[in-house]
Amino acid sequence: MSVHTEDRKKITVLQLKKMKQQGEKITVLTAYDYTTAKIIDEAGIDVILVGDSASNTMVGNPTTLGITLDQMIYYTKSVVNGTKRSLVIADMPFGTVSGNPLKSLDAAIRMMQETGADAIKIEGGAEIKEDVKKIIDAGIPVMAHLGLMPQSINKYGTYAIRGKEEAEAKKLIEDCLLMEELGAFGILLEKIPAKLASQISKQISIPTIGIGAGVETDGQVLVIQDVMGMNKDFSPKFLRRYADLHTIMTEATKHYISDVKTKNFPSEKESY
Ligand code: KIV
């Protein structure tokens, strides 16, 4: 059965797999607060990702490294409170899943228990194999995040496209196959050649969600502030803006300032 906007039943990870099998694209947007989550949930988005991009978009940090588990739990809980139908995936922030399976499991349990999220997303491949296995064995659905991994910015020194060189593409394919074997329910592929993303999406049975990975992934994800045009300074090739909230909010703010300054607000009708 395919999933339609008017179908108000909660989306599950199993349903995402069915959508891939049926060739129905999976829609994903990020959100970090109750109000935005409620709007995009009611608009029919399949998945809401509480990305660690909150570090950039909500806190103004230069990288995703500056956000903690406690902060991600706070944002995720806010999104869960605003969501009825969409699947909510919470990002595990930098340092919480990094080669110590028991510590990683503790962090993943906190995230699930304290937020009510449906699943978590983890950046990394073979290096964190044991962590991912431990978490999945505990019954927590995991989406892997491969390709460009912003949490490793200090290792690579650039946000440039990944998987262009043969060796890197080979390791990426191996990591995807490994994550599928470990039981991940999906893979987010960030900023890799469209041809490579297409090949991976055909090779594995779990859904791929792309950002800057071409049209052949099983779904697409974008950051909500970018999609809504709230951030004029960020214009990567892969981004399509669907609104110009920067202009709308600037104009509305100016209008409000003017009304207050000129005693045009509040009116008698707006007063008690
Ligand atoms: O944290 C995030 O927002 C992400 C993006 C790649 C969607 O992972």
Tokens describing residue 113: 């228990």
Q: Residues 213, 106: one domain?
A: yes
For residues 23 and 41, membership in a common domain is answered with yes
* Residue spans of alpha helices (H) in the chain: 13-21, 34-43, 54-57, 69-81, 101-115, 129-137, 153-156, 166-182, 194-203, 224-227, 245-261
Length of the chain: 272
| 192, 223, 239, best to mutate for ligand 1 pocket (most atoms within 8 Å of CB) | 223
Do 106 and 229 fall within a single domain? Answer: yes
Q: Is the peptide bond before 236 cis (omega within 30 degrees of 0)?
A: no
pLDDT digits (tens, 9 = 90+) for 95-149: 999 999 999 999 999 999 999 999 999 999 999 999 999 999 999 999 999 999 9
Do 40 and 154 reside in the same domain of the chain? Answer: yes
Say whether both 27 and 40 belong to one domain: yes
In three-state secondary structure terms, 217 is coil
Residues 235 and 261 in one domain: no
User: pTM to 2 decimals?
Assistant: 0.96
Residues with CB under 6 A from ligand 1: 30, 49, 51-53, 91, 145, 190, 211, 221, 223
Q: Domain range holding 263?
A: 244-272
Percentage of the chain beyond pLDDT 70 is 97
- Number of folded domains that form the chain: 2
Are 132 and 262 in the same domain?
Answer: no
